[in-house]
């Protein structure tokens, strides 16, 4: 770097750059943010904003599918209210049918006349009997209604290579073939596009308890038969590690890196330290959960470093295809159904995690929060004919501005949020420029007690106006209920203005803010 350019940077950034790597960059009081709009980074794939729907509890049945004869308004069996709400957040891809369910699922049970489909027992999730009324045709119909890309997860744990091969042919073969003909007999003439295919799920656990060496060989074999039929190009995704199991990543990249387009990664940040309740918790639990969520930064950085050793060109995408909070189920509900409420705390987890993915957009190409409706960190909850949008939904809506936008590098100097003897950075941020040239900055103030001032320096763009929206509430535990569905929702943000070098803003305590700079 030329000496001249050092002088053109604000003094505090020079100080940050000179700090030893890994040292926390904390400052008192004010947050300083330097955005390099003149040094655009990679595209933030819209697929980072992907979702996951498993045959689990009331996600598929009731949450998405009610059947054509239901009194709940539906279009060919899909709930109209849920589909309309999901279209607003432009969900880019949807993973299905699991999860652990995927390695028990035999797709041929879910095609043909519904009344003739065999029942199966959902051994992982409550041991309930599943009638298979929602199968391949229904899932792909749902994706068409949503305008989203299907991401199918195949069965390696208990399925055969031929079964996986035939499934891909059934869905994507346009010409004449045994599987395409069977699809036509079942009422669908035109082949579907299936751009994403997962070769097994959690094969280190519920998907077969395999070693990485064994799975790498299995992956190579199964993935060979996941064919591109006609104009359909499949992005093959290998099962990645269980959180911090870096050895799994290393073995997979070394032995099967060349056969994959994507490698998954699962990380659930969990719940509080003293209370596991989604809604009844104190500051200790707030702090603990946000600190666990921030570990996603370490996880994607170290996983990315390992991937770089085998794939310097970053050809293989990191696909964080399961992530989110995992609280105790709501009292009185089936423990196997993983139904949990969703508070402002979950919204902060979503906001800071999506900021991390954005900042790692050079390697992170997809992420899928678990799960879409009524399960874990859902964006939508339903109760028969009623539906509500969770605080996490609102974060996804606010962050749509980043879909396929260009990442802008940023440097952040933030005070710490301390709790007892422990501390975490109080603010998380990411920035991008959209196709119309507007810069968007998303900011999360993790401190539940103090607002924070932000001074934003923008190199390479002049800011004339700043608009914003904010998601916050008086209480950490604030959440939406079927009786009061609008307790937590975004509103106009008036505490930001254009400044000489960029903008200034005051973020309320415990808030997620999106700014639009023009
Ligand atoms: O999302 C719930 C479960 O968590 C999934 O089925 C599994 O893949 C993971 O362990």
Counting from 1 in the atom list of ligand 1, the atom nearest the Cα of 202 is 8
Please list the ranges in the chain whose pLDDT falls under 50.
Answer: 1-27
Q: Which two tokens stand for residue 342?
A: 């969703």
- Which residue ranges have their beta carbon within 6 Å of ligand 1? 54, 98-100, 201-202, 322, 370-371, 376
Q: Which helix (H) or strand (E) holds 368?
A: strand 364-370
pLDDT of residue 18: 37
Span from the CA of 99 to the centroid of ligand 1 (angstroms): 5
202 is catalytic: yes
Please tell me the distance from the alpha carbon of residue 357 to that of residue 300, in angstroms, as a whole number. Answer: 8
422 is catalytic: no
Please tell me the distance from the alpha carbon of residue 281 to that of residue 61, in angstroms, as a whole number. Answer: 30
Cβ-proximal residues to 101 (8 Å cutoff; 6+ apart), any chain: 54, 55, 56, 122, 124, 125
Rounded alpha-carbon distances, angstroms, from residue 293 to 155, 270, 323, 348, 356: 30, 8, 10, 9, 10
CB of 269 within 8 A of CB of 292?
A: yes
Burial of 52 (0-12, 13-18, 19+ CB in 10 A): buried
Span from the CA of 444 to the centroid of ligand 1 (angstroms): 27
pLDDT of residue 61: 97
pLDDT of residue 28: 52
The residue whose two tokens read 């028969």 is 384
Q: Which one of 36, 54, 62, 202 is the catalytic residue?
A: 202
pLDDT of residue 29: 82
Phi, psi of 489 (to 5 degrees): -155, 155
Cβ-proximal residues to 363 (8 Å cutoff; 6+ apart), any chain: 300, 304, 307, 314, 317, 318
Rounded alpha-carbon distances, angstroms, from residue 348 to 53, 351, 441, 507: 22, 5, 15, 13
Phi, psi of 452 (to 5 degrees): -140, 140
Rounded alpha-carbon distances, angstroms, from residue 229 to 191, 225, 282, 359: 10, 11, 54, 35
Ligand 1, atom 6, lies closest to the CA of: 99
Please tell me the distance from the alpha carbon of residue 119 to that of residue 124, in angstroms, as a whole number. Answer: 15
> What tens digit of pLDDT does each residue of 276-301 get?
999 999 999 999 999 999 999 999 99
Write down all domains in the chain, each with its CATH number in brackets. Answer: 11-43+407-517 (2.60.40.1180), 46-404 (3.20.20.80)
């Amino acid at each position: 770097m030329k000496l001249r350019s050092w002088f053109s940077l604000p003094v505090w950034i020079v100080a940050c750059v000179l700090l030893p790597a890994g040292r926390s960059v904390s400052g008192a009081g004010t947050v300083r943010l330097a955005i390099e709009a003149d040094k655009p980074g990679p595209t933030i794939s819209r697929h980072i904003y992907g979702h996951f729907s498993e045959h689990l509890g009331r996600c598929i049945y009731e949450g998405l599918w009610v059947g054509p004869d239901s009194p709940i308004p539906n279009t060919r069996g899909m709930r109209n209210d849920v589909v309309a709400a999901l279209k607003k957040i432009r969900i880019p891809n949807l993973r299905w049918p699991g999860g652990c369910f995927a390695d028990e699922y035999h797709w041929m049970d879910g095609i043909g006349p519904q009344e003739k489909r065999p029942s199966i027992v959902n051994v992982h999730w409550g041991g309930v009997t599943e009638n298979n009324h929602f199968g391949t045709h229904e899932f792909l119909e749902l994706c068409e209604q949503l305008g989203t890309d299907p991401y199918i997860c195949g069965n390696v744990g208990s399925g055969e290579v031929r079964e996986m091969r035939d499934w891909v042919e059934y869905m994507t073969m346009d010409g004449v073939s045994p599987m395409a003909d069977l699809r036509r007999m079942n009422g669908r003439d035109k082949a579907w596009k299936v751009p994403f295919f997962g070769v097994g799920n959690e094969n280190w656990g519920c998907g077969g308890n395999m070693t990485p060496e064994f799975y790498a060989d299995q992956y190579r074999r199964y993935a060979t038969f996941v064919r591109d039929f006609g104009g359909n190009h499949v992005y093959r995704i290998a099962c990645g590690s269980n959180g911090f199991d870096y050895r799994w990543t290393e073995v997979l990249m070394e032995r099967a890196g060349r056969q994959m387009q994507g490698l998954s990664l699962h990380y659930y940040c969990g719940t509080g330290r003293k209370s596991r309740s989604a809604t009844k918790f104190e500051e200790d639990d707030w702090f603990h959960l946000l600190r666990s969520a921030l570990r996603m930064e370490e996880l994607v950085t170290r996983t990315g470093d390992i991937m770089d050793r085998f794939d310097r060109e970053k050809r293989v995408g990191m696909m964080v295809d399961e992530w989110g909070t995992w609280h105790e189920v709501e009292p009185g509900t089936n423990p196997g159904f993983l139904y949990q409420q969703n508070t402002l705390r979950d919204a902060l987890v979503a906001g800071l995690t999506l900021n991390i993915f954005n900042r790692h957009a050079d390697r992170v190409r997809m992420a899928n929060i678990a799960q879409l409706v009524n399960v874990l960190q859902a964006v939508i909850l339903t109760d028969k004919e009623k539906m509500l949008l969770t605080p996490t939904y609102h974060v996804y809506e606010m962050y749509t501005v980043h879909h396929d936008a260009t990442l802008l590098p940023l440097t952040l100097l933030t005070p710490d949020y301390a709790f007892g003897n422990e501390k975490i950075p109080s603010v998380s941020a990411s920035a991008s420029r959209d196709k119309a040239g507007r810069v968007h900055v998303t900011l999360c103030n993790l401190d539940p007690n103090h607002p924070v001032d932000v001074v934003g320096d923008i190199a390479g763009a002049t800011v004339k106006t700043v608009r914003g929206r904010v998601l916050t509430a008086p209480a950490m535990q604030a959440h939406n209920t079927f009786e009061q569905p609008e307790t937590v929702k975004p509103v106009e943000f008036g505490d930001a203005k254009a400044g000489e070098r960029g903008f200034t803003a005051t973020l309320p305590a415990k808030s997620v803010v999106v700014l639009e700079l023009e």
